[in-house]
Structure 1
């Protein structure tokens, strides 16, 4: 059975003035657009089976918004929502999408995002044509570091899917899976930007690699070694530099993927599962705390105090959102998706910010070659640490940024293992 693939991208840049996501220390609306944000879609078809992968230049999306997009894709294309992946690149210079309360998100833009993402997927499917696919790997570990532990683990691999037109041999698309926070740009940036993944995709496309689709990996505790400065122009130069380094490694991996095949079957499925949530404050307690933070912000003395209060506001708004919209009887319901291209490659989504050790443990358990773990996909439950990371504590293991327990980390591993293996 011959694989067919189509790829497309569509501008989803929000208007000036939207609230930005990514930093509690930055509460001002965006003041301009530095570079556009895109929806990038890849449609995979074999016979009657099809799957769609959407990558959005956003910080993250809650399951409610992901479901709106997945159902919109299903409505436009007839591809089952269970075979649709909606992933965020996790740029910290994009707009709010509702994870901290719907009132911080621009509802008109969000509605446009849903329509544009679905349209992008439909266009990718319309363009589907016979394709050869291959897998390659590179190493860009020099640009990344573990922010929790000096010398701690990172996943240095740049995992690449090369997709070429079967008739002409020309590149149709390149999928890049790499694990590193898009935080070259710091909280002092008030311009919309895709950060280094945007530059990475731009370079690959300029270099003739087809439509570039970036899928963020297990980067919850990983940041760039090269960070921004107080000089915004220099910060953007650094983001471009990091993007170029990873893009070059991805292009090398693509060119070294010799054995491209077209006789590949597409398989895709999703599974819902529940996770135990640690004890949280009551909704009443959170609302009362929020009422006291707002006046404090207004009277904050200096940028440092305002930044601290901003982080506090972020935390309380996240708690309120979880308690109002997600947590039921001490549990949270989420979802993951598995996509395979025969023996060429496997893709498995994680609904949050997986830390490096969690990803390494999952890889070891599954034992799958050519496995792309995609974080920030189809939902966002917060940080997803390993049991060891939970015991170590720290920011990524603290409430409300992480609401999981050792038991629920095990529940997620079990659910992902079952999904990838095709059983319970």
Structure 2
């Protein structure tokens, strides 16, 4: 006779706001942080299925490099006596959080602080397991607009996952997935903040009295309403969008059920970016004249000097399946078309393909948008290549390959009852 698994959950959150000046990551600012607009948090959600533990962590930050994210995942896996594929990070993608790299003021100091705080949060969560049940819900939220020239497509799904006590149905935490760039605050803002997500989260936690965890989705080409194509909203716009989002979350209604199937794992695939020839690089530089292009040209030259014609990376796609829904993600800022294509092909609106997962490594457009070029496809690499490790976007077919893998895995999983 098959042994029945017991399913438990635990949640904890911890303040990760620095009490010292840092460089705010996400836009060029000549000055460092000057204060705190709202505090930053890391949130930890654990599931226990028999002898296995799965961990989802949401962090108020633009996003770590993959190597830095891996450090946190390995530390967490060690604490929980589990494997790294059972640890998934997601970043809110605020552009007003500390830069946790040597490129920023107190960057290494902040990353060390961030690691210690997340470790403490995981330690707190792991001693608070209780029997749980879950419920999925779906509505829409019109807080995002396509920021590409001529673009109209958005992923306006607002997905909810309620985790509640099995004994009395009291909520343990609510997970909310959106897909909108979290960068409404203007460049002149020098205060630490989690932008509109931080405002909405506080409003909802005050209203409900239990924790709210936001997950960022496929927002690479989606801006918040009330902003121009690169952000720059005012305080009124921030409050407005947070208010709309909060009211839309209240539309979610959950039918709780026992966990019948939970799985967490990852799959690998190879991403390839081409190194431009000298002539190609010079043409690109002429088409996109910015202050950052000289550094990019030098990086391209160094790669050619070493004889490198391509840059190849082993990418990780993470999955967390809970009953009829699935949260999966890649580290890139994927365009919303990828998430919509995946849910359409899987015939499951509760299949959420997210970016900003286990790191943040630059934009990854759909095939159609790849050929249109523009900031997300070309110009962003001038600034971001030193973080992301590639001077050009991944090849045009990469988006289709990601969706193929995600849909293939979902079809394998949907009838699985382990």
User: TM bucket by the smaller chain?
Assistant: 0.7 to 0.9
Please, which of 57, 62, 68 is the counterpart of residue 54 of structure 1? Answer: 57
The C-alpha deviation readout for 1:156-197, integer Å capped at 9, x for no partner, is 111111122222222110101001011210111111100011
Q: Paired residue for 2:135?
A: 134
Out of 97, 100, 123, the position equivalent to 1:97 is: 100
RMSD, matched Cα: 3.0
- Helix, strand or coil for the counterpart of 1:223? strand
Q: Is the 8 A contact 2:275 2:310 kept in 1?
A: no
Q: Which residue of 2 aligns with 1:416?
A: 406
Aligned to 2:7: 3
CA–CA distance in 1 between the matches of 2:249 and 2:295? 35
1:119 corresponds in structure 2 to 120
**Structure 1 residue runs without a partner (length 5+):** 290-306
- The answer to whether the 8 A contact 2:146-2:223 is kept is yes
Deviation at 1:51, TM superposition (A): 1.1
Query: By percentage of residues, which structure has more helix?
Result: 1
- Whether 1:332 aligns to 2:335 is no
The answer to whether the 8 Å contact 1:6/1:125 transfers is yes
Q: Which residue of 1 aligns with 2:340?
A: 360
- What residue ranges of structure 2 are gaps of 5+ in the alignment? 385-391, 414-418
1:205 is displaced (CA, Å) by 1.1
> Aligned partners of 2:112, 2:159: CA distance in 1, in Å?
32
**Is 1:380 paired with 2:360?**
yes
Q: Relative to 1, partners in 2 of residues 1:2 and 1:251: Cα closer, same or farther, differing over 3 Å?
A: farther
Whether the 8 Å contact between 1:76 and 1:122 is mirrored in structure 2 is: yes
Is 1:16–2:20 an aligned residue pair?
A: yes
Shift of 1:372: 2.1
8 Å CA contact retained: 2:73, 2:84: yes
Q: How many residues align?
A: 386
Aligned to 1:298: none
Closer, same or farther: CA 280–148 of 1 in aligned 2, 3 Å:
same
User: 1:9-408 to 2 correspondence within 5 Å?
Assistant: 9-24=13-28, 26-98=29-101, 102=103, 106-141=107-142, 143-150=143-150, 152-208=152-208, 210-227=210-227, 235-253=234-252, 256-257=253-254, 259-280=255-276, 309=291, 312=293, 330-343=311-324, 345-399=325-379, 400=381, 403-408=393-398
Q: Secondary structure at the match of 1:163?
A: strand
Which structure has the higher relative contact order (CA within 8 Å, separation 6+)?
Answer: 1
Q: From the superposition, tell whether residues 322 and 138 of structure 1 become closer, same or farther in structure 2 (CA, over 3 Å).
A: farther
Measured after TM superposition, the shift of residue 413 of structure 1 is: 3.1
Contact conserved, 2:333 with 2:356, CA < 8 A, in 1?
Answer: yes
Cα deviation digits, residues 40-69 of structure 1 (max 9, x gap): 111112222221110100001111011101
Classify 1:224/1:68 alpha carbon distance in 2 versus 1 (closer, same or farther; 3 Å).
Answer: same
> Could you say what secondary structure the match of 1:27 adopts?
coil
Summarize the Cα distance change of 1:19–1:237 in structure 2 as closer, same or farther, 3 Å threshold.
same
Residues 271, 115 of structure 1: alpha-carbon distance in 2 compared, 3 angstrom cutoff:
farther
- Alpha-carbon distance between aligned partners in 1 of 2:302 and 2:112, rounded to the nearest angstrom: 20
- Name the stretch that deviates more: 111-120 or 193-202: 111-120
Q: TM-score, normalised by structure 2?
A: 0.84
**Partners of 2:258 and 2:264 in 1: how far apart?**
18
- CA separation in 1, counterparts of 2:63 and 2:299? 13
Q: Structure 1 9/379 Cα, relative in aligned 2: closer, same or farther at 3 Å?
A: same
8 Å contact kept, 2:54–2:264? yes
Structure 2 Cα separation of the partners of residues 280 and 15 of structure 1: 43
